[in-house]
Amino acid sequence: MNITGAQIIIETLIEQGCDTVFGYPGGFVLNIYDELYKQSDKIHHIITAHEQGAAHAADGYARVTGKVGVVIATSGPGATNLVTGIANAYLDSIPMVAITGNVPLALLGKDSFQEVDTTGITMPITKHNYIVKDVSELADVIREAFSIAKSGRPGPVLVDIPKDIQLQSFEYSPAPLAEEREPACPSDAALEKVARIIAESKKPYIYCGGGVIISGAGEEVAELSELIDSPIGFSMMGLSAVSSNNRNYLGMTGMHGRYASLKANSEADLIIAVGVRFSDRATGNKLRYSQKARIVHIDIDPAEIDKNIPAYYGLIGDIKVTLAGLLKKLDRQTHKEWQDEISVMREQEKSYLPKDTEMHPKDIIEKVMYYTDENTIIATDVGQHQMWASQFYRIKKPKTFLTSGGLGTMGFGMGAAIGGCIGSGCGRTLLITGDGSFGMNLNELATAVSNRLPLIVLVFNNGVLGMVRQWQTIFYDKRYSETNLERKTDFVKLADAFGADGFRAGNMNELDAALKKAFEMQTPVVIDCIIDKDERVLPMIPPGGSIENVIVN
């Protein structure tokens, strides 16, 4: 059957299992949007307020569903507005396909209206990208884009399609779902070697990262921890992999990790690192990182082994397959002394927790947990509120915690919450944000209202850029350069203006009342929650420091 390029794009998306796309129309994707109009019963398109929001929404959708998130934007500014969202997905290894229109082939390179070198701009922030110059290749390029996006270590793939390619016709016949490439599995000998290393350990520490969630290996990690009697610490990206109810759960490690998790990380004699990349925020000073430990590093990406921290032994493979193989080679272990040490660390951690403060962010998050359940999708923006959420929100299920890890994108939250909410089948979603981050992309409140999403936006409002201010307090002698926002924005009125509801919470009673009302509603609500501007995120390991430099109070 001969159909146009624009039709091929939509047919191929449907064929590849895509039923939801996020995007924004424009001059050079008009034909694609015309087909979306005709096929709206098969593909649901969500229009956002800004292409960045659409990219973050596709990202959030992928994080919740595990499917490839799809975003469509026009050429020029449409494509450049996607850039932050694509980079965010790249740094966090999120499967995404971005489709952009471009000027007709004959106008390429002529500085035409709304022309930019989209593939050139996105080359360093995509797993791969394409510009399609022959309609005969279009369907296969899109199929390959899906395959690359979800295979191995996932990531974003961009397909740039000039307008005339969208108009030309070519033979199309449906193809099956693009296969993920065969997951790699380490050899038996390698697994036995690791089993021996584990058997020699008296103080193991499992360091669980985002790769565990991608691979769906949370259960295997929990089983490993049970079998070898090991605590589990997490990178921020790995936080939802294992339920916080697990007896070995120590929570996040790294710059703002929980004390017991940090301490156990540095005292361990073996770190079993699964699906992590030892980011500088997680390790601090690499030369002083966990010097007592052997490190076994398990990852699907061979380039991660030895990249940031040299591994004692590297295992390259799909984490679920690898851990399943490893579990068979291990005998049960008990480490009573180590567990006793961990208990002491946990007690110490409790003694460092904030006490007797009104409206401490920890109290707010605990209050929130009273209303949420294990299926609630939690999204965050970037800053202090993100760290508090990572430290104190007790996540129960994988793929329910959406946060910008690698890129640290302020403004990620609104788009991600919208995409995550839609990905969950419009289930209850809560965005924990700050007044700084929310200010960056609050325009997407319009999208949440149009789609009647059950989204609660909880703004930790301190009137300052809290995380930057915290650094200025500690490292810049309290010179608060440009971090006192002094804005007059009224978030309650703002919510009203967007067609949402807004409440203000200046104390715990007001917060409780606001949350109660918000959770009874099924439409977007903004809660402006006033917190102290001098509240700091603790513990904190200063950049380039190690556990010896930890600031606890």
Partner 1 sequence: MKDKQFILGVLVANHAGVLTRISGLFSRRNYNIDSLNVAETENPKLSRMTIIARGDEYIKAQIEKQLAKLHDVKKVEILPLDDTVIREHLLIKIKVTKQTRSEIVESVNIFRGKVVDFNIDSVTVEITGESTKLDAFIKFAAEFGIIEMCRAGAVAVRRGIAPLSDENEFLD
- Cβ neighbours, 10 Å, residue 87: 19
Residue 81 half-sphere exposure, CB side, CA atoms within 13 Å? 23
Looking at residues 400 to 419 of the shown chain, list those that interact with partner 1 (rule: CB under 8 A). none
Report residue 51 as tokens.
Answer: 């292409």
Q: Active-site residue among 42, 113, 286, 350? A: 113
What is d(CA 161, CA 362) in angstroms, rounded to the nearest whole number?
Answer: 48
Where does 76-155 show beta strands of DSSP type E? 96-102, 128-131
Q: How far is the CB of 448 from partner 1 (least distance, A)?
A: 36
Non-local CB neighbours of 448 within 8 Å, separated by 6+ positions: 414, 417, 418, 421, 455, 500, 524
Considering only the stretches 117-125, 460-468, 492-500, 540-548, report the one whose residues sit in contact with partner 1 under the rule CB under 8 A: 117-125
How many angstroms separate the Cα of 167 from the Cα of each of 70, 163, 219, 521?
21, 7, 48, 45
Residues 155, 183: contact at Cβ < 8 Å?
no
Q: Note if 163 is an active site residue.
A: yes
Compare residues 303 and 497 and give the one whose CB is closer to partner 1: 303
Considering only the stretches 59-67, 118-126, 436-444, 505-513, report the one whose residues sit in contact with partner 1 under the rule CB under 8 A: 118-126
Q: How far is the CB of 120 from partner 1 (least distance, A)?
A: 7
Dihedral of alpha carbons 413, 414, 419, 423, sign:
positive
Looking at residues 268 to 327 of the shown chain, list those that interact with partner 1 (rule: CB under 8 A). 301-303, 306-307
Compare residues 260 and 315 and give the one whose CB is closer to partner 1: 315
Q: Which of 45, 56, 67, 127 touches partner 1 (CB under 8 A)?
A: 127
Q: Which of 14, 39, 80, 128 touches partner 1 (CB under 8 A)?
A: 128
388 forms bridges with which residues in the sheet?
none
Residues 436, 383: contact at Cβ < 8 Å?
yes
Q: Note if 467 is an active site residue.
A: yes
Compare residues 90 and 249 and give the one whose CB is closer to partner 1: 90
Q: Which of 2, 41, 110, 124 touches partner 1 (CB under 8 A)?
A: 124
Residues 538, 352: contact at Cβ < 8 Å?
yes
Q: Which of 64, 97, 116, 148 touches partner 1 (CB under 8 A)?
A: 148
Long-range contacts of 218-227 (CB under 8 A, 24+ apart): 218/242, 218/398, 220/319, 220/320, 220/323, 220/324, 220/327, 221/274, 221/323, 222/246, 223/323, 223/327, 224/272, 224/323, 224/326, 224/327, 224/330, 227/327, 227/330, 227/332, 227/333
Q: How far is the CB of 132 from partner 1 (least distance, A)?
A: 12
Q: Which of 119, 243, 443, 473 touches partner 1 (CB under 8 A)?
A: 119
Q: How far is the CB of 305 from partner 1 (least distance, A)?
A: 8
Considering only the stretches 63-71, 115-123, 446-454, 517-525, report the one whose residues sit in contact with partner 1 under the rule CB under 8 A: 115-123
- Cβ neighbours, 10 Å, residue 442: 23
**Which residue has 């500085």 as its token pair?**
111
Number of residues that bind partner 1 (CB under 8 A): 13
141 is a contact residue toward partner 1 (CB under 8 A): no
Q: How far is the CB of 303 from partner 1 (least distance, A)?
A: 4
Q: Note if 67 is an active site residue.
A: no
Three-state secondary structure call for residue 21 = strand
138 is a contact residue toward partner 1 (CB under 8 A): no
Q: Note if 52 is an active site residue.
A: no
Compare residues 27 and 302 and give the one whose CB is closer to partner 1: 302
Q: What are phi and psi of 533, to 5 degrees?
A: -70, -15
Q: How far is the CB of 277 from partner 1 (least distance, A)?
A: 13
140 is a contact residue toward partner 1 (CB under 8 A): no
Q: Active-site residue among 67, 163, 263, 320? A: 163
How many angstroms separate the Cα of 530 from the Cα of each of 359, 377, 384?
8, 23, 14
Residues 282, 299: contact at Cβ < 8 Å?
no
The amino acid at residue 394 is R
226 is a contact residue toward partner 1 (CB under 8 A): no
Q: How far is the CB of 127 from partner 1 (least distance, A)?
A: 7
Report residue 433 as tokens.
Answer: 């944000």
Q: Active-site residue among 15, 51, 304, 349? A: 51
Q: How far is the CB of 314 from partner 1 (least distance, A)?
A: 11
Q: How far is the CB of 123 from partner 1 (least distance, A)?
A: 6
What is d(CA 28, CA 62) in angstroms, rounded to the nearest whole number?
Answer: 26
Q: Which of 19, 37, 109, 123 touches partner 1 (CB under 8 A)?
A: 123
The residues assigned a catalytic role are: 51, 113-114, 163, 467
Which parts of this chain interact with partner 1 (CB under 8 A)?
Answer: 119-120, 123-124, 127-128, 131, 148, 301-303, 306-307
